[in-house]
């Protein structure tokens, strides 16, 4: 009788594991895919903002560019804080370095801001590019 109870308990555990393990593996895989999709969307958002900033600065619309710059830098901070990879977080935080300089140049209406915006555009593209992009 005791052997039957032990065998039944082992059978229950085995059946549980047979059902649980594949679902656990699937859930982890889907969680990783979701995290990658979120990072991709955040990168696309940053590229959109810096592209808009570049166009506005190029058109010498420094008021709108300053507002877009504020949105861009705030979004960079959010994305950096959410990054789990320390290397990615550091790269994103490096995008914040020219914040004060760019903001001051927009406030003065200095056309030299275009050089800084171009550098920021290139760095943002490099930091946010996906693994499939060149």
pLDDT of residue 129: 85
| Mean pLDDT on 82-108 | 93
| Long-range contacts from 61-67, C-beta under 8 angstroms, 24+ separation | 62/106, 62/107, 62/109, 62/113, 63/106, 65/106, 65/113, 65/117, 66/103, 66/106, 66/107
Q: Residue 130's pLDDT band (boundaries 50, 70, 90)?
A: low
Distance, CA of 124 to CA of 51 (rounded, Å): 10
Torsion angle (degrees, nearest 10) of CA 113, 118, 124, 125: 160
Domain boundaries, the chain: 39-128
pLDDT of residue 122: 96
Residue 134, pLDDT above cutoff 80? no
> Per residue in 100-129, pLDDT tens?
999 999 999 999 999 999 999 999 999 998
> Per residue in 14-56, pLDDT tens?
988 888 889 999 999 999 999 989 999 999 999 999 999 999 9
Q: Distance between alpha carbon 10 and the CA centroid of its chain, in Å?
A: 45
Q: For residue 134, what is the enclosing H or E element?
A: none
Residue that is written with structure tokens 């992009």 in the block = 133
pTM over 0.85, yes/no: no
Distance, CA of 42 to CA of 81 (rounded, Å): 12
Q: For residue 62, what is the enclosing H or E element?
A: helix 62-82
> Per residue in 57-76, pLDDT tens?
999 999 999 999 999 999 99
The domain defined by 39-128 folds into 1.20.120
């Amino acid at each position: 009788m005791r052997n039957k109870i032990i065998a039944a308990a082992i059978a229950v555990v085995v059946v549980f594991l047979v059902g649980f393990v594949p679902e656990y593996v699937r859930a982890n895989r889907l969680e990783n895919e979701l995290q990658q999709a979120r990072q991709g969307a955040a990168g696309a958002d940053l590229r959109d903002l810096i592209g808009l900033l570049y166009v506005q600065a190029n058109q010498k619309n420094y008021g709108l560019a300053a507002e877009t710059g504020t949105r861009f830098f705030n979004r960079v901070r959010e994305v950096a804080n959410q990054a789990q990879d320390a290397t990615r977080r550091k790269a994103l935080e490096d995008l914040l370095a020219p914040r004060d300089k760019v903001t001051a140049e927009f406030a003065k209406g200095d056309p030299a801001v275009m050089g800084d915006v171009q550098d920021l555009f290139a760095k943002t593209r490099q930091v946010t590019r996906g693994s499939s992009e060149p």
